[in-house]
């Protein structure tokens, strides 16, 4: 199995509340942002390798937010994870087209406690590697 992360990964978690994910390890440097107004200053400050975007909480702002990040070449190598409650094929395809690299579903996290299985079941978008 391929290693998704190294110990020095910086993660920006964009969500109104903190939550744990099996893809985020204790060795990672996690910066939590609870308001969209704070995202771009935090991006500049932390230069994250990974962004976890809580789509359910910020769905109205998602297109503009993702377009702004993906239009900046500085963030080309930044992986963006979309966190959603459940799969919705049309919405998921739309998010992938906007630049989300991976989708994580809360329902899959609850149903399956095996972290390695969850990581291998991530929904991959076009822009992998």
11 part of a folded domain: no
Mean of all residue pLDDT scores within the chain: 79
- Which band of pLDDT confidence, cut at 50, 70 and 90, is reported for residue 22? low
Count how many domains the chain has.
1
Model pTM score: 0.77
- Which band of pLDDT confidence, cut at 50, 70 and 90, is reported for residue 83? very high
Long-range contacts of 120-124 (CB under 8 A, 24+ apart): 120/1, 122/23, 123/87, 123/92
Q: Which helix (H) or strand (E) holds 104?
A: strand 102-105
pLDDT the model gives residue 111: 64
4 part of a folded domain: no
For residues 55 and 108, the model is more confident at 55
State which residues form the domain around 42. Answer: 30-124
For residues 24 and 17, the model is more confident at 17
Tell me the backbone φ, ψ of residue 100, rounded to 5 degrees: -70, 130
8 part of a folded domain: no
103 part of a folded domain: yes
Structure tokens at 111: 């149903």
24 part of a folded domain: no
CATH classification of the domain holding 70: 3.40.50.2300
């Amino acid at each position: 199995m391929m290693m998704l992360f190294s110990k020095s990964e910086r993660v920006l978690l964009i969500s109104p509340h903190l939550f744990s994910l099996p893809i985020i390890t204790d060795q990672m440097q996690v910066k939590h942002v609870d308001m969209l107004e704070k995202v771009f200053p935090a991006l500049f400050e932390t230069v994250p390798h990974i962004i976890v975007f809580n789509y359910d909480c910020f769905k109205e702002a998602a297109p503009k937010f993702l377009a702004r990040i993906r239009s900046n070449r500085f963030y080309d190598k930044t992986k963006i994870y979309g966190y959603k409650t459940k799969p919705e094929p049309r919405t998921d395809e739309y998010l992938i087209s906007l630049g989300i690299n991976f989708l994580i579903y809360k329902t899959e996290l609850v149903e399956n406690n095996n972290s390695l299985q969850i990581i291998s079941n991530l929904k991959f978008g076009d822009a992998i590697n």
